[in-house]
C-alpha cells in the first residue's frame, strides 16, 4: 500500500496515515489494541522518526524529536503533574535537562536513566 491508508496488525495495533510500500512513512498515528493512541507524529518506514508525541502505557506524554523510535530531545509530562524538559535516551530523561515538580520545585542539571545526578 502506498498513499493514505489504515492497517490493522494481527495483534490489533492500528497504523493510520501516509504509507510507502506498506510502511508508515510521513505523518501517522499508531493505536494500541485498546484503540488508544500510542504515538502520533512522523514515521520513517514505520519507525518513529522526527517530531511526535508518545503516550506511554503508564500515562503522561512525551513530545519532541524522535530518532530510530526513541525520543532524544523534548518534554515529558508525567501523570502526577511533574514536567521534564531536555535530553532523553531510551525514552528516559538522560543528559542535560530540567524537571519541575507539581509543587514547583525545580532540578536543573544532569539526568542518568531517568534519575537526577547529585552535583
Are the beta carbons of 61 and 49 closer than 8 angstroms?
A: no
**Domain final residue, candidates 10, 26, 55:** 55
Q: Same domain, yes or no, for 110 and 60? A: yes
Q: Same domain, yes or no, for 37 and 61? A: no
In the predicted structure, residue 80 carries a pLDDT above the cut 70: yes
Q: Same domain, yes or no, for 18 and 6? A: yes
Q: Same domain, yes or no, for 102 and 71? A: yes
- The per-residue pLDDT for 100 is 97
- The per-residue pLDDT for 119 is 64
Residue 55 forms beta bridges with which residues?
none
What's the pLDDT tens digit per position in 7-33? 999 999 999 999 999 999 999 999 999
Give the total number of structural domains in the chain.
2
What's the pLDDT tens digit per position in 34-67? 999 999 999 999 999 999 999 999 999 999 999 9
Q: Same domain, yes or no, for 62 and 108? A: yes
Q: Give the position of cell 513530545.
A: 63
CA dihedral 50, 54, 60, 63 (to 10 degrees): 10
For the chain, the first-to-last Cα distance in angstroms comes to 52
- The per-residue pLDDT for 112 is 96
State which residues form the domain around 49: 1-55
In the predicted structure, residue 1 carries a pLDDT above the cut 90: no
Number of CB atoms found within 10 A of residue 66's CB: 27
In the predicted structure, residue 118 carries a pLDDT above the cut 80: no
Amino acid at each position: 500500500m502506498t498513499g493514505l491508508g489504515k492497517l490493522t496488525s494481527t495483534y490489533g495495533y492500528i497504523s493510520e496515515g501516509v504509507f510507502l510500500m506498506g510502511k508508515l512513512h510521513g505523518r501517522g498515528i499508531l493505536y494500541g489494541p485498546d484503540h488508544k493512541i500510542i504515538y502520533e507524529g512522523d514515521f520513517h518506514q514505520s519507525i518513529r522518526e522526527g517530531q511526535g508525541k508518545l503516550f506511554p502505557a503508564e500515562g503522561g506524554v512525551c513530545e519532541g524529536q524522535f530518532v530510530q523510535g526513541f525520543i532524544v530531545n523534548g518534554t515529558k509530562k508525567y501523570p502526577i503533574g511533574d514536567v521534564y524538559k531536555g535530553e532523553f535516551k531510551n525514552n528516559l530523561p538522560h543528559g542535560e535537562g530540567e524537571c519541575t515538580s507539581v509543587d514547583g520545585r525545580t532540578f536543573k542539571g544532569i539526568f542518568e536513566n531517568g534519575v537526577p545526578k547529585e552535583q
